[in-house]
């Protein structure tokens, strides 16, 4: 009989709780979390329902990179390349990959259809930017991957119209044997405004890290920025936009490193209680004046 003060959770509630833990797993750790969640639930049917909803959310949020069959390239699991729930477009290889979200593998790949590809005019800009960013990512991020998507105006066939791109950069470093995992994710939206002859650049960068040796320390920091450049030829636009991305990402990484160097003197000190329960500062410079045995003796009236 159910305890009225502690009612049994409904199946929907159990599924939502499991889904939350899976979707919020740290970088590179969802498979480990999944094993524990399945065991705790004790119900494979409910677990499968939760996993089917949580894994796609996790994969897209973390910009998970999967190798396509035949080593034909890598595909980033992102909303920008999502054709439907299981199929994702890779603009560099002009292929569509079918993925198994729960197993985190590509199961099939096919050439993209004509209606899934941008026009030759748009592809000229996209290809030039992709080439520039590939060099930058290889030099900057070990095991990093990037992709450039046309998000608006892919059918534009010449000057005189606006179009938008999205640049996605994803890099992760997983080392569970050393109790440390982390990732870098950045998304850049580019608005090519033909009438103003300007390209508006908006960046969203995120660093996530998890250290869990004899503890649980997580970092999740985000940064946004804006910039612009002149609407030029595909090659000139690519070089200018790549330099903007390099500048802002380098600046952000430097600011993170700078904050790390000051952690002992700032954040960690702020975690300490400002005053003890006595409401007086502890004299750290003269701590030897305190004696626990002496205080106990006085309290108990023991003469020593």
The domain spans of the chain are: 9-61, 62-116, 118-261, 271-300
pLDDT of the residue at 1: 42
Same fold, 9-61 and 62-116: yes
pLDDT of the residue at 301: 59
- Total count of residues recorded for the chain: 304
Specify the CATH number for 118-261; select among 3.30.56.10, 3.40.50.720, 1.10.1060.10, 3.90.1150.210.
3.90.1150.210
Rg for the chain, CA atoms, rounded: 26
Q: Could you tell me which CATH class the domain 9-61 is placed in?
A: alpha beta
3-31 confidence digits (pLDDT tens): 556 678 899 999 999 999 999 999 999 99
Q: What average pLDDT does the segment 229-236 reach?
A: 97
Share of residues in the chain with pLDDT > 90 (%): 73
Side-chain half-sphere CA neighbours of 130 within 13 A: 19
We find that the CATH architecture of domain 62-116 is 2-Layer Sandwich (3.30)
pLDDT at 303 exceeding the cut of 60: no
Query: Are 90 and 96 in contact, with CB atoms under 8 Å apart?
Result: yes
Cα–Cα distance between 127 and 246 in angstroms, integer? 18
pTM (whole model) above 0.85 = no
> What is the DSSP code string of 50-73?
HHHHHHHHHHHHTT-EEEPGGG--
pLDDT of the residue at 82: 97
- Cα–Cα separations (whole angstroms), residue 52 to 40, 48, 58, 86: 17, 6, 11, 11
Q: Where residue 277 falls among pLDDT bands split at 50, 70, 90? A: low
Q: What average pLDDT does the segment 178-198 reach?
A: 95
The pair of structure tokens assigned to 207 is 């660093």
User: Average pLDDT of the chain?
Assistant: 89
What lies within 8 Å, CB to CB, of 189 at 6+ separation is: 151, 164, 165, 166, 167, 201, 202
């Amino acid at each position: 009989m159910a305890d009225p003060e502690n009612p049994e959770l409904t199946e929907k509630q159990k599924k939502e709780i499991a889904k939350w833990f899976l979707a919020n797993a740290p970088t590179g750790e969802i498979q480990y979390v999944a094993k524990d969640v399945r065991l705790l639930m004790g119900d494979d049917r409910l677990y499968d329902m939760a996993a089917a909803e949580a894994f796609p959310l996790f994969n897209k949020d973390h910009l998970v990179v999967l190798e396509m069959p035949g080593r034909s390239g890598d595909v980033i699991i992102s909303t920008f390349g999502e054709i439907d729930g299981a199929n994702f477009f890779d603009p560099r290889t002009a292929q569509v990959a079918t993925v198994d979200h729960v197993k985190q593998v590509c199961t099939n790949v096919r050439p993209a259809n004509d209606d899934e590809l941008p026009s030759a005019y748009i592809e000229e800009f996209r290809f030039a930017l992709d080439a520039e960013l590939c060099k930058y990512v290889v030099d900057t991020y070990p095991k990093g991957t990037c992709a450039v998507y046309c998000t608006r105006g892919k059918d534009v066939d010449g000057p005189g119209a606006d179009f938008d791109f999205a640049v996605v950069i994803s890099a992760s470093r997983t080392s569970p044997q050393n109790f440390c995992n982390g990732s870098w994710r950045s998304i850049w939206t580019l608005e090519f405004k033909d009438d103003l002859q300007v390209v508006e650049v908006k960046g969203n960068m995120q660093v996530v890290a998890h250290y869990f040796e004899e503890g649980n320390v997580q970092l999740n920091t985000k940064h946004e920025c804006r910039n612009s450049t002149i609407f030029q030829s595909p090659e000139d636009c690519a070089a200018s936009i790549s330099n903007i991305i390099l500048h802002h990402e380098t600046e952000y990484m430097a600011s993170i490193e700078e904050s790390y160097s000051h952690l002992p003197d700032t954040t960690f000190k702020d975690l300490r209680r400002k005053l003890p329960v006595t409401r007086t500062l502890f004299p750290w410079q003269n701590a030897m004046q305190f004696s626990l045995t002496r205080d106990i003796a006085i309290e108990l009236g023991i003469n020593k």
